[in-house]
A and B are shown apart, each in its own frame.
Chain A
Amino acid sequence: MTTTAETMPYAEAIAAFEPVLGLETHVELGTASKMFCSCPTAFGADPNTQVCPVCLGLPGSMPVVNRMGVESTIRMGLALNCSIAEWCRFARKNYFYPDMPKDYQISQYDEPLCFDGWLDVTVETDDGPRAFRVEIERVHMEEDTGKLTHAGGATGRIHGADYSLVDYNRAGIPLIEIVTKPIVGTGELAPLVARAYVTELRDLMRSLGVSDVRMEEGSLRCDVNVSLNRAGDDWGTRSETKNVNSLRSVERAVRSEIERQAAVLSSGGRVIQETRHFHEDTGRSTPGRSKEQAEDYRYFPEPDLVPVAPSREWVEELRGTLPELPSAKRARLRAEWGISDHDFQTLVNGGALELVEATIAEGVDPAAARKWWTGELARIANDREIELADVPVSPGQIKHIQRLIEDGSLTDKLARQVIEGIIAGEGDVDDVVAGRGLAVVSDDSALLAAIDQALVDQPDVAEKIRGGKVQAAGAIVGAVMKATRGQADAAKVRALLFERLGVSE
């Protein structure tokens, strides 16, 4: 145990040290079949129902490369401005673990399919948006492992479990691994740059259609490398934090590792080269294997597969299929919507861009679309500590709600209750409106009856209004709103009231 503080406050850490980052991101590709067999890749099937001799690694079975997997990887490489290898091989990464049917993983080692690219990301600072170019070392293909579930025991880990179950449905699902070169010069923005980079990767993959990146299903996993050095010194020893599985966690993992290493270094200690495990609940990491205990994966070229040699014609053909990439699209949308850099960056950083765009595409007015996603829905995401995209409300539902507001069936306040109901699982918009009885009371006779009752109840107020004191109308309107349990449109009540009393505003 160390006697010094385990972490140093972030501002202090950043004042003393310069961080160097590196990110390895694994994403499941959205191919219909697995990387080396024809089993389906659908998520959520019963355990071990999407398996065959190949992905179970049965003796004698042999892998065959999924062309779609190669194609998706090349397209991703091209979108990341990478060179595409003319010839490369798969390699075996050897280690024993029960989630790996063959006790080796088919991956790529020193001959990645794509290499030497870059990706520009923007982060919002107090001085406005700032751009960083993240250089890409490599993009390669590999297969996923099965999924272990540990039963019993205190930790939920394999050690101490009563027994463990393996589901090989995930084994052999195509993965793409994107590795950055060291990211330097980010200073205090390091956590935000890391998050912006992974966000940009996610958006890029979605726009390419190579993966829908369902983070809640664990289809994107990050390993975060961090080292610190004092200004002018050589780079420090790095740690690798594994299993960082959400955008928010990427940011938190970088920040907490900077705070931890700064504490170690400033107390005269030495950072150990090790892998660390990130814990979503605490936002902190715990040590895993050190370099001395690191496994030797004994990589060698996979002899069951022939080299991948994409022809230049094919590569150029694939380049031609690249859609408008997110950065270009952002520039276009900002111009089309005519909003400020700051407002636009708020949308991007909040993960609202696609949602706003989709909502506008549904026919909602741009200002209203932005208001929903950066207002009420962003607040909900924030409260629940989830990504905006994971809030279970769709652009189509927003359109529906907005239409009901526009035709006077809902007020803003009622609309928020509809959203609350949708999130609570009470069904679609109409179901919630009906179930909670949320329709605006727009029946004039019902409103007039309520107004008449209020005027009878508050004769002095009625007299004031008749006398021209229109500001006194609030008390009557309030009473009517109360009587209709908030389901009336206040403006309409007001108009009816004046009409009833024969006064004009």
Chain B
Amino acid sequence: MTTMEGDLTRQSATVLADAMAQGEVSAEEVTRAHLDRISEVDGDVHAFLHVLSDEAVEVARGVDRRRAAGERLGPLAGVPLALKDVLTMSGVPTTCGSRVLEGWRPPYDSTVVERLRAADVVILGKTNMDEFAMGSSTEHSAYGPTRNPWDLERIPGGSGGGSSAAIAAFEAPLAIGTDTGGSIRQPAAVTGTVGVKPTYGGVSRYGLVALASSLDQAGPCARTVMDAALLHAAIAGHDPRDSTSIDAPVPDVVAAARKADIRGVRIGLIKELGGEGYQAGVSQRFDEAVEVLTDLGAEVVEVSCPNFEYALAAYYLILPSEASSNLARFDGMRYGLRVGDDGDRSVEQVMALTREAGFGAEVKRRIMIGTYALSSGYYDAYYGQAQKVRTLITRDFAAAFEQADVLISPTAPTTAFKIGEKVDDPLAMYLNDVATIPVNLAGNAAMSLPVGLAPEDGLPVGMQVIAPAMADDRLYLVGAALERALVDRWGHLLIEEAPDL
């Protein structure tokens, strides 16, 4: 890459923001460079479902005008961003990767979008995802899979594969993802990028089309820990429109990323998340990273979370139960797809035909599981038991945080698998999230950051760092320290090793 525009797309958000603030480059140039990159590579990657070409340039020009007028702008002003298609943006199509919402343009902004606009971030478009965020590969999108920029035959993770691929393919320096069981962290791991699931309630869910309300959380995706911190700070904080959002000051994640000093920090290695079932190269790179943490002055101890064993089972009852209710409203009556309304059919028939045609197999599978789990006579055995497991997992975390400031594990058991490899085997697909799910059940904060390439396939491996609720700053402290040490060792960010598209 020798052109000016190519250079721009390979910069971090921090560098771009700085260059714009210094007047070295305009927001319009930065935006156009990324839009050009999207035209150039997205035919292969398919990270985007909808690109806001004209609108994005318009917003960027506005930023330039205001900067020229002497206005003081925020730290991300003019930086482009890719938005997961599960968050509403007024007047812009929002499909959640589903046919059932095809053509729907929400009349309102999600709080995340409102805050991005307030931060003068330039939204480039909406990114692909597994339908209603159900999946770990983005293969369950009704609009076709997204491909991993490291290897176009492989999955970019899911459900937020569009967002992770967009930043890994240098189509945007920042993206917003949502994480219900790992949908920010697992895509980050398999694309060699950074992804953070904030504390549950840390970022408003208003305008986030719900999959499982008690688990969903929006968060930042980036190529560096500092970029993620800046984005985190821009979107987090209490929102009176989301009753579950926490009314407390946002931990200073940017200061933590800047500090990046982990001397004396106690790091707990979760015994149950590793070893058997984890790819050899994943374990190897993870273990090496643990050594780096020790070298940086952290105190690494082993902790046990015995109830994590039941996390996956509990998750696949709680999530479908909530989803079966959250997705009920897609009935063809008010918006989106409507099938079979021929003037003779009943309301019930039109609802059934719409849902039959509008939802994919994985969505139907989970709606059926959830409907069953909530049915009278089964509720206690399924949903009730799952909630008890949830309590036990929360207690495991509490006990582990007595011994450690943060906990770590590999983010995913394997590197990116081939498209088509697991799509017909739901259980194998669900196992991708075995290490990330406990965090959502307990509502903690967690980050995935790249720790190297697995020797056997040359694909990225991610480490998960977990912090107690409302201690998100610790993720950035540890993540930034580790990232700095690894970049020193490699001479560049891991993503620089991704092949040219």
Question: By DSSP majority rule, is chain A's interface helix, strand, loop, or mixed?
Answer: loop
Query: In the complex the two chains form, what is the Cα distance from A350 to B97 in whole Å?
Result: 61
Smallest Cβ distance from B115 to chain A, in angstroms? 15
Are B331 and A96 within 8 A (Cβ)?
yes
A64 touches B325 (CB 8 A): no
The winner among A60, A61, A96 for most chain B CB atoms within 10 A is A60
Determine whether B101 belongs to the interface, using a CB cutoff of 8 Å to chain A: yes
Is A298 an interface residue when CB atoms closer than 8 A count as contact? yes
Residues B325 and A58 in contact, CB atoms below 8 Å apart: no
Chain A residues lying within 8 Å of B330, measured Cβ to Cβ, are 59
Residue of B nearest to A306 (CB): B243
Task: Pick out which of these stretches binds chain B: A100-108, A242-250, A327-335, A496-504.
Answer: A100-108
Q: How many A-B residue pairs have CB under 8 A?
A: 100
A159 to B344 Cα, complex, angstroms:
11
What 1/0 mask marks residues of chain A from 151 to 178 whose CB sits below 8 Å from any chain B CB? 0000000110000101000000000000
Q: How far is the CA of A59 from the CA of B205 in the complex (A)?
A: 11
Chain A's closest residue to B214 (CB) is A303
Query: Is A87 an interface position by the 8 A CB rule?
Result: no
CB distance from A163 to the nearest CB of B (A): 8
Q: Which of A286-308 contact B (CB under 8 A)?
A: 296, 298-300, 303-306
For chain B, residues 176 to 225, give those with C-beta under 8 angstroms from any C-beta of chain A.
205-210, 212-214
Contact A60 B213 (CB under 8 A): no
A478 at the interface (CB under 8 A from B): no
Q: A59 near B101 (CB under 8 angstroms)?
A: yes
- A62 partner, pick from B206, B335, B347, B351, beta carbons under 8 A: B206
In whole angstroms, what is the CA distance A57 to B108 when docked? 12
Tell me the bound Cα distance from A64 to B207 in angstroms.
Answer: 13
Q: Would you call A103 and B209 a contact (CB within 8 A)?
A: no
Q: How far is the CA of A63 from the CA of B205 in the complex (A)?
A: 11
Decide yes or no: A60 and B207 within 8 Å by CB, A53-B107, A298-B371, A303-B213 being known contacts. yes
In the complex, A159→B348 CA distance in Å?
11
Question: How far does the alpha carbon of A299 sit from the alpha carbon of B208 in the complex, in Å?
Answer: 23
Q: Are B375 and A60 in contact (CB under 8 A)?
A: no
Chain B, interface SS category: loop
Whether B244 is near chain A, meaning CB under 8 Å from some CB there, is yes
B26 within 8 A of A: no
Contact (A298, B374) CB under 8 Å given A61-B206, A96-B331, A104-B325: yes
> Do A94 and B325 touch (CB < 8 A)?
yes
Q: Which residues of B contact A53 (CB under 8 A)?
A: 106-108
Q: Which one, B108, B214, B331, B371, contacts A58 given CB within 8 A?
A: B108
B163 within 8 A of A: no
B: interface residue count bin: 35 or more
A53 to B330: give the CA distance in the assembly, Å. Answer: 15
Q: Using Cβ atoms and an 8 Å threshold, which residues of chain A touch B371?
A: 298
Give the docked Cα–Cα distance between A164 and B94 (Å).
28
A354–B183 alpha-carbon span in the complex (Å):
62
User: Which of these, B104, B206, B321, B331, contacts A300 with CB under 8 Å?
Assistant: B321
Partner among B104, B209, B241, B328 whose Cβ is within 8 Å of the Cβ of A104: B328
Q: Pick from A61, A102, A159, A166 the residue with the most CB of B within 10 Å.
A: A61
Contact present for A103 and B108 (CB under 8 Å) = no
User: Least Cβ distance of B90 to chain A in Å?
Assistant: 10
Interface string of A8-44 (1 = CB under 8 A from B): 0000000000000000000000000000000000000
7 tightest A-B CB contacts, nearest first: A103-B328, A303-B213, A298-B374, A303-B214, A59-B209, A60-B207, A60-B209
25 CB contacts below 8 A, A to B, read A53-B108, A57-B329, A58-B335, A59-B104, A59-B330, A59-B335, A60-B207, A61-B207, A62-B205, A62-B206, A62-B242, A92-B325, A96-B328, A96-B348, A96-B351, A98-B331, A101-B334, A298-B325, A298-B371, A298-B379, A303-B213, A303-B322, A304-B244, A305-B244, A306-B244
Beyond contacts A53-B106, A298-B371: 8 other A-B pairs, Cβ-Cβ < 8 A, are A58-B88, A59-B210, A60-B87, A92-B325, A94-B324, A94-B374, A298-B324, A303-B212
Binding site for B on A (CB under 8 A): 53, 56-65, 92, 94, 96, 98, 101-104, 158-159, 164, 166, 296, 298-300, 303-306
